Each structure stands twice: as C-alpha cells, then as structure tokens.
Structure 1
C-alpha cells in the first residue's frame, strides 16, 4: 500500500463541523452582505463638475476642444508636454498621443451637473426650470450617444435649511428622465455634506419611494456620499462615522467623494493651505479607505483650485501641480478625482496614462506567472492577483493601454481578468 493510500485519522466528528458551520451562518451572511467586494464595473478616472446654469448640450465637446486648444498653445508636441510635466522620454510620445485622442473622443468620463455649491441659492422657479432642463439635456445626450459614460446631478444636502429644495430638485430631475425614456445606465447622484447616518437613510427612503412610484426594480437607484464634514469621519464618541454612512446606505452607496475645501475649512485649515495633500486630507481619506475596503464602494479624491490659465509659465506651473497631485492619488489607490476646469483634462489623462503605461508590462508578467503558477522574483498571493488584474483592467477601461497589449504579455483575456478581480 502506497503512502497516498494510507487512511487519514481525524478526531472531530461531522456533527462538530456542522455545529461550527451553523454557529457561523449568521457571520457568513453578514460578511457577504457588508463586504461583497469590488463590483467589477468601470470606474471613471474623474468627475467634472459644471454648475447647473452653465450646463449645455455641447458642454462635453466644448471642454474637450478647450483642453486641446490649451495643449496646442502650451504643449504642441510630445517633447514640450513631457518637459512641462517631467514625463520620462520613453513614455512621452505614447502618453501625448493617447491624451490627444482621449480629448477628441471622450474628454469627460463622468459629469456632475451641480445644484449645490457651484449653483448656489436660486428662486424655486429658477431651480425647477434648471432641473427640468438638465433632465431633458441628459436624456437627449444619452439618446444620441454624446453623453459621457457616467452623468448625473449633485443635489443640495439634507440639512434643514435646504433639504426640501434638494429633494424637489432630485424628484424633478429623475421624473424628467423617466418621462424622457427612463433612467440611463450611467446615472450617478451625489449627496453632499453628509454628517449623520440618518441623512443617508433619508436618501435611501427617497430612492425607495421613487422606485415604487415608477415600478422600478428595488435598488435601481444608487448614490455617492460626499465627505465634506469632520463629523462624517469621526463621531462624538470617536467612532468612524463613515463606516456607519456606508451601512446606512443599505447597499446603494456607489462611492465616497472627498471634498477638499469644505473638509479642510472644517478642520480650520487656512485657505492658502487647503489641498488634496494636506495632512488633514490624508487622515480623512485613510479612514474612508479602510471603511470602504471590501464593501464595493469606490473612492474619489477631491480637486485643486489652482487653474491652468494665464501665461505659459502660469499654465505649466498649474499643470505640474495637478499632474503631481493626481499621480500621488493614484499611488494611494484613489483612482478617481475631481476636475474643475477644461485645462485640468490634459494633466488628468497624462497622469493616469503614465501611471498605467509605465507599469502594465511588469503587472501583466506577474499575473501571467501567477496564472501559470510559475515561480519568479516575487511569489504572489491571490490578493495580489486581484490587485494586478484590477490595475490592468483600469488601464484598459480608461484607454491608457489596449486589451491586445495586455493579452500579449499576460496571456489572458478580459474574462479571466474580470474573474480574478
């Protein structure tokens, strides 16, 4: 009898194992509910905010044209663009051409029509009209294919002074979309200035009631939670409130968006030092990151208010700042951020494309070795394989790399990448 045929001795009965399974059934269900993992869908690399009164049918196209015009004037070729940003010579041409192509074909990945800070207080009649108009323009853009992949509104918050107005704008906008043919697949709603979980619960109720009123599938409407108040990070008892906000959303939360300037001001940071890389920002985002891990809720960094306008030296300085901030966010696993001006688009895509292009070959080789169970310089765990596949898919989805490039090195296609992620 060979050693493989030797009986294996055990001491614990099947009844014991079944008892353990029964005792942990509730925990298993709770883990599955609270931590479903990454949804496996595309995440935009940025969100563009446009005040509701400034939003027009050609907003996306105009932003792309303005960004290209800025490139033509201040970085007309790969060499000048690389010199302005400090791009490595080996990446300059690839990144520059892909950035120009992106600005022509899909300059904005996610557009938020702003009815909050960027819009300000208006008469009810004026805001009603703006919400009706926004719904009409969004529906038309979705129908003719000119809409960005993700689009929606940021309503006013749930604080008492503006609550009714925010709810009404949300209702008018969604009702207008339904009348025009239904809610688009890429619909995104943003709930700002959240302080207490009960405000998130109120948003959940609004979504539920709208779904019932229109016979929509339960859970069809999700929303982002904007983190702009200190109370959203730490509660009065010292607990991480942001985790409670995610729980209060009952599976409807799609993202946590950091609000650079409101949060910084709430911490007492003077205007000159309010930035995405300030220590108070890093602390808040670290808490957000841990709270969101495994939940399927995506993270977005904030924005810079330094705009690439004026003379060449001023534009290049603003570009360098924005490029560095975006690269910093990407390294910290914040794969999305806000862009407030068309001039931010070239550096947004340059930073994103450089991030993925400079590392995709090594990532694809490591993933190929993992799939083949081959040994190499690094012995990767399943969690690392998830990170590698996620990195490659993000690069493909935003246009930084092509699926054929990744497949040629990794030896696997999109289905395998999705399965690993």
Structure 2
C-alpha cells in the first residue's frame, strides 16, 4: 500500500515575531502565575466548628461527637428513621447512616475554630490572655497526642480600632504558646473577621510576616482566612469588588473566604426572621466571593444556620431537615465547606455531604474512566480536561471526608489515589 503523501506545511511569520510576542507577555505570564496558582492541592474540611474560647476543653472534640451520636440514638436510632427524616432514597439510607456513625466515632470534627470574637465577647485583658495561652496549650497537646482534628486554630478579634490591639495580642499569645510547645502544627488555621478594607488584610499579612521573622520560620508559613461579613467587603465605595483586592492584599497568605451569614445579612438590612444562607443577599455575596477566588487557590466556606436541633424530637427533625437542605444547597453551588454551631448539626452535615458524594459516584467514575482511556465509552459524553479535573476533584473530596472508600473508587474508575490526585491537580495524598 502506497503511503499517503505528506502535506506541505508553510508558515509566513518568522521566529522573531513569536519571540517578540513572548517577550511582550512576560509580565502577564508572571502575573497570571502569581495571582492564579490554582488549587493548593490539600484537603479541604467539610465544615468549621466554632467553640467559644472559654468553653474549650481537652475533650471538646470528643464531646461533640458523643453528643451527636446521642442525638442520633434518641431522635433517629436506625438507618430507616434517619433516612425518613431527611428524605434519603432507600439505596443511600444504609450506607449514609453507617458512615455518619463511623465518622462521629472516628473524626467528629474536621476543623475546629476557637473563638475569641463574637462567641467570646469582650473580657478583661488578663482573662483573655489566660484563655489564649490555654488554647495554645490544648491545641499543642492534642497535636502531639494525635487527637487533634485535621485543622484547628483561632478566630481573633478584628482589625477595627476598638479591638485591634486586643486581637493582635491574643494572636501573639496563641502563636507564641504553640512555638513554645514545639512549633506550629501542620493544620493551623487563623481567621480574621469583619474585614472591610484591603488594608486590614495587609496589616494581618504583616503581623504574620513579623512573627515568622521573630521565630525564624519560613516566609509564608502562616496563612489566614478572611471572613466576609460586611457589605464593604463585597462592594467598595469605588464600586469595585473589594474581596478581590483583599485576596491580593494578603500577599499569598489567604487560605479561605468564609461567609458570615448573620453579620452580612444584618448589614444589608435583612430582618432577623429572614437571615439565612439561602437569602438572595447571601447568594449575591457568595457569587462575588466565588468569582473573586476562582483560580487563586483560596477556598470558600458558606456560613451557618442558627436553628439548633434541640428539644423534642419533632423540633429536632425540623432543624435537621433545614440544615440538611442548606448544606445540600451549598454543595450544589460548589461551596464545599460551612460552619456548624452545635453538636446536633454534625449528623446532618455528614449525611448531606456523604449522600452528595455517593449519589454522584457511579456517573463520575464512569465518565472519568472513559476519559482516562481517552474514549467516551458508553457514557455518550466526551469530556474535556477541565471536566475530568472536576470529576476527579469530586471523588477526591469524597475520599477525604470518608464518604467514599479508595477500593470502591479504584474498582469503578481503574484509577488509584495518586492518579486521581494528578487529574484533580492536587499533590499526592500523604500515606
């Protein structure tokens, strides 16, 4: 068989033109790499649990898990009753219930925030000093013993003039206490609340830098979350999206944007009865946050509900249904983290998260397996690299939180964890 003739390839532009174009975009290339480094490739917790600093004990995390299990035993003692409350389909009832109970026994809290702000309030300086030192001791001891949640840290007071010095002192005491106890733990998280101007974020970045210098830490070792709970953080007086400037002002230290449901709603004039994560004002703010953070490596977290699952069973079930619906709504909108304010929220947090990842498992696995084989296979869908990244990210997040097992994912996709991490653009998981 005669070989097919090769097409003659002709060009008109000399190499000097391409080189000139490349030279003209050097600064843009560097700016894109700096501002949009992509996902940090680390595990993101599914929630943040807030505990006032004066209520923190060595047993807080275990106590939350035990209280959540007791709530299940009392108000939904088996898989069928729990599924009936939440409206879970029959095929998910057993797996979700089993995994939720196992999670509450093994790792009830993924991210613990010790609160020195609204949940703690103004205290005499000596009292807050002692509480900050005690928080450092408890976090350090739990980290050393291997009983700490994957992430833990404090929410300090904000950078407004009235409480600025107090917030800085608490931060200093807490971090200094950790260093004295052996160093900063890997899962350290700090939260800066009530930010209104980018300059306040710059000030926080400077504090982190100065602490690193004082202790000989690597530059950039300390990062922090920015809490978005003021209208000025979304739209500045110049009509621009302030939150995008805040990310830049953090100088690479911003790790997350957390939406503050009630402060932000109140700032918008929303009445107390209508302040919720699903209010249109909340959706607008979170949409702006989402676009500002896209590609930057800064994670997003939704807020909380103040409807607590306490009291008689009927009231608990109503609160569970509300919380479950709100968490599912956030997940569908790519807000993979939220706040939990009461142990009774843990069962529905994990039920919503686990159902979300399990119900999408087979379809995501089939499409990802087809993509990995470079064929649309029987899915009828020819996915692009960006979609494959999203599919693998879905599975990796499910593995991280315990919704999925590595063996079942590998069986369905033919891909191991390292391959999934690579497709998702993440660093390999620690063994």
**TM-score, structure 2 as length reference:** 0.97
Aligned to 1:71: 72
Q: How many residues align?
A: 421
The answer to whether 1:131 aligns with 2:137 is no
Alignment of 1:176-195 (within 5 A): 176-195=177-196
Aligned to 1:155: 156
5+ long unaligned stretches in structure 2 = 425-431
Aligned to 1:291: 292
Which of 372-381 and 239-248 deviates more? 372-381
- Provide the C-alpha distance between the structure 2 equivalents of 1:418 and 1:273, rounded to a whole number of angstroms: 41
Alignment of 1:7-406 (within 5 A): 7-375=8-376, 376-406=379-409
- Provide the C-alpha distance between the structure 2 equivalents of 1:231 and 1:416, rounded to a whole number of angstroms: 42
SS of alignment partner, residue 217 of structure 1:
coil
SS of alignment partner, residue 113 of structure 2:
strand
- Provide the C-alpha distance between the structure 2 equivalents of 1:326 and 1:68, rounded to a whole number of angstroms: 19
The superposition leaves residues 329-362 of structure 1 with CA deviations (integer Å, 9 ceiling, x where unpaired) of 0000000000000000000000000000011111
SS of alignment partner, residue 111 of structure 1:
strand
**CA displacement at 1:5 relative to structure 2:** 3.5
The superposition leaves residues 364-386 of structure 1 with CA deviations (integer Å, 9 ceiling, x where unpaired) of 11011111111231111111011
- Provide the C-alpha distance between the structure 1 equivalents of 2:5 and 2:165, rounded to a whole number of angstroms: 72
Q: 1:352 to 1:13 in 2, by over 3 A?
A: same
The superposition leaves residues 47-75 of structure 1 with CA deviations (integer Å, 9 ceiling, x where unpaired) of 00000000000000000000000000000
Which of 411-420 and 193-202 deviates more? 411-420
The superposition leaves residues 131-155 of structure 1 with CA deviations (integer Å, 9 ceiling, x where unpaired) of 0000000000000111000000000
Aligned to 2:422: 419
Which of 29-38 and 373-382 deviates more? 373-382
- Provide the C-alpha distance between the structure 1 equivalents of 2:19 and 2:382, rounded to a whole number of angstroms: 35
The superposition leaves residues 18-62 of structure 1 with CA deviations (integer Å, 9 ceiling, x where unpaired) of 111111111111101100111111000000000000000000000
**CA displacement at 1:6 relative to structure 2:** 3.6
Q: 1:104 to 1:93 in 2, by over 3 A?
A: same
**CA displacement at 1:3 relative to structure 2:** 4.6
- Provide the C-alpha distance between the structure 2 equivalents of 1:280 and 1:137, rounded to a whole number of angstroms: 38
Which of 21-30 and 256-265 deviates more? 21-30
- Provide the C-alpha distance between the structure 1 equivalents of 2:123 and 2:61, rounded to a whole number of angstroms: 25
- Provide the C-alpha distance between the structure 1 equivalents of 2:195 and 2:420, rounded to a whole number of angstroms: 35
SS of alignment partner, residue 268 of structure 1:
coil
- Provide the C-alpha distance between the structure 2 equivalents of 1:30 and 1:407, rounded to a whole number of angstroms: 38
SS of alignment partner, residue 343 of structure 1:
helix
Which of 207-216 and 401-410 deviates more? 401-410
- Provide the C-alpha distance between the structure 2 equivalents of 1:305 and 1:168, rounded to a whole number of angstroms: 30
- Provide the C-alpha distance between the structure 1 equivalents of 2:5 and 2:72, rounded to a whole number of angstroms: 68
- Provide the C-alpha distance between the structure 2 equivalents of 1:7 and 1:251, rounded to a whole number of angstroms: 49
**TM-score, structure 1 as length reference:** 0.99
SS of alignment partner, residue 305 of structure 1:
coil
- Provide the C-alpha distance between the structure 2 equivalents of 1:128 and 1:412, rounded to a whole number of angstroms: 50
RMSD: 0.8
Q: 1:3 to 1:23 in 2, by over 3 A?
A: farther
**CA displacement at 1:186 relative to structure 2:** 0.1
SS of alignment partner, residue 53 of structure 1:
helix
The superposition leaves residues 287-318 of structure 1 with CA deviations (integer Å, 9 ceiling, x where unpaired) of 00000000000000000000000001000000
**CA displacement at 1:420 relative to structure 2:** 1.1
SS of alignment partner, residue 5 of structure 1:
coil
Moved over 4 A (4+): 1-4
- Provide the C-alpha distance between the structure 2 equivalents of 1:206 and 1:230, rounded to a whole number of angstroms: 25
SS of alignment partner, residue 119 of structure 1:
coil
The superposition leaves residues 252-288 of structure 1 with CA deviations (integer Å, 9 ceiling, x where unpaired) of 0000000000000000001000000000000000000
